């Protein structure tokens, strides 16, 4: 078991690093091609934080390991809210702006309900998968359009911050291409290492691929979200911390699962419908309760509430371990 564990550790390290290479190269190329900073931030950089989930789930589906593909996507959603927002709030309480409650969170919850409709019949066909990808494209298009026509100072500040970030990492066209291609190659290689190690451990322990996907793989592929959310919260950029999680969960639910299903239609384990989806849906609803501001302009996820989210994650993980031990 030592070799598979080593491959998981190496795979995760290279996966996170290669995703960063890929994003910086893609962002630089997008700027060369005239894409606006706001669009680069929402589409290119937003895509990059979910690149590990996308590459691992796509490869898992290609190799016939649907448990890891699905567990990675839905497990990452649970990890993003319960573990990442929980840890972030413990470090620095998070202010939740009212527009997030009014716009982004309802979209995420509707997408979560839509996912249940796709899961309920126990089968992810290619037509289901293409429908998820189409919904993802529509949601992203609407969000980009909303941001582009937003006259508020907040949108101007966000665009200015992204432009400063692009200036700080300015590179030539050739360098951007090298970073993009290198990042993509390393993403594939590291994903193969991670999937091989995860499948090997699952077989050695006699547990399902789904459990490994929901735990080890989900936490590992969520490391970019953890890092970016903590940095954003400590800088006082609370909207970015929460928006990063919402965007990642939208991407995982629609694009990651959709691409995996398009590559290889798969049966849906009953545990996802009866156990993991309800946890994901309840955590999504909890963001409404925790972030609701009433008559105030913004809500707040304080340290106590962050601790509660973290306790939910620990309890969920212990329950998964207990199901393995008692099996």
| Angle, vertex CA 238, rays to CA 235 and CA 243, nearest 5 | 125
**pLDDT over 80 (residue 255):** yes
Which of the 8 DSSP states describes residue 294?
T
- For the chain, count helices (H), then strands (E): 19, 4
Q: What is the pLDDT of residue 295?
A: 44
What is the domain extent for residue 20?
Answer: 2-326
Of 256, 251, 253, 222, nearest in space to 16 by CA: 222
Bigger pLDDT: 304 vs 142:
304
**3-state SS string for 123-178:** EECHHHHHHHHHHHHHHHHHHHHHHHCCCCHHHHHHHHHHHHHHHHCCCCHHHHHH
Q: How confident is the model at residue 45 (pLDDT cuts 50, 70, 90)?
A: low
Q: How many CB atoms lie within 10 A of CB 165?
A: 15
**pLDDT over 70 (residue 169):** no
**pLDDT over 70 (residue 237):** no
> Among 78-82, 248-252, 277-281, 293-297, where is mean pLDDT lowest?
293-297
**pLDDT over 90 (residue 244):** no
Per-chain mean pLDDT for the chain? 81
Number of domains in the chain: 1
Taking the CA atoms of the chain, what radius of gyration do you get in angstroms? 19
Overall average pLDDT of the 112-121 stretch: 91
Q: What is the pLDDT of residue 186?
A: 86
Two structure tokens written together for 276: 């993991």
Q: Is 300 helix (H, G, I), strand (E, B) or coil?
A: strand
Q: What is the pLDDT of residue 144?
A: 72
Handedness of CA 217, 304, 85, 136 (dihedral sign): positive
Tell me, what CATH number does 225's domain have? 1.20.1420.30
Rounded to 5 degrees, what are φ and ψ at 131? Answer: -65, -40
**pLDDT over 70 (residue 113):** yes
Strand ranges, E, within the chain = 94-97, 123-124, 266-267, 298-301
> Among 25-39, 83-97, 158-172, 302-316, where is mean pLDDT lowest?
158-172
Which of the 8 DSSP states describes residue 264?
S
**pLDDT over 60 (residue 293):** no
**pLDDT over 90 (residue 135):** yes
- Check: CB of residue 299 under 8 Å from CB of residue 98: yes
**pLDDT over 60 (residue 39):** no
Two structure tokens written together for 19: 């995703």
**pLDDT over 80 (residue 126):** yes
């Amino acid at each position: 078991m030592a070799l598979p564990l080593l491959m998981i550790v190496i795979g995760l390290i290279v996966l996170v690093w290669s995703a960063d290479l890929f994003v910086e190269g893609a962002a630089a190329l997008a700027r060369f091609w005239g894409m606006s900073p706001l669009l680069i931030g929402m589409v290119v950089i937003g895509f990059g934080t979910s690149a590990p989930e996308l590459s691992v789930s796509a490869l898992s589906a290609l190799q016939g390991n649907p448990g890891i593909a699905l567990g990675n996507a839905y497990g990452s959603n649970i990890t993003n809210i319960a573990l990442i927002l929980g840890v972030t709030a413990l470090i620095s309480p998070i202010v939740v702006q009212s527009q997030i409650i009014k716009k982004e969170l309802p979209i995420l919850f509707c997408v979560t309900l839509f996912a249940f409709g796709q899961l309920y019949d126990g089968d992810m066909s290619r037509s289901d998968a293409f429908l998820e990808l189409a919904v993802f494209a529509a949601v992203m298009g609407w969000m980009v359009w909303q941001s582009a026509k937003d006259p508020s100072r907040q949108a101007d500040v966000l665009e200015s911050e992204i432009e400063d970030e692009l200036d700080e990492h300015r590179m030539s066209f050739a360098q951007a291409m090298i970073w993009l291609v290198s990042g993509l190659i390393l993403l594939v290689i590291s994903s193969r290492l991670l999937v091989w190690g995860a499948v090997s451990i699952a077989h050695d322990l006699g547990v399902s691929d789904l459990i490994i996907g929901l735990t080890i793989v989900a936490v590992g592929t969520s490391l970019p979200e953890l890092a970016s959310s903590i940095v954003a919260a400590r800088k006082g950029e609370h909207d970015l911390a929460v928006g990063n999680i919402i965007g990642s969960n939208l991407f995982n639910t629609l694009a990651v699962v959709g691409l995996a299903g398009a590559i290889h239609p798969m049966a849906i384990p009953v545990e996802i419908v009866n156990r993991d989806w309800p946890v994901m849906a309840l955590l999504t609803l909890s963001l409404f309760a925790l972030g609701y501001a009433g008559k105030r302009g913004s809500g707040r996820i304080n340290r106590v509430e962050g601790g509660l989210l973290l306790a939910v994650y620990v309890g969920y993980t212990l329950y998964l371990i207990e199901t393995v031990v008692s099996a």
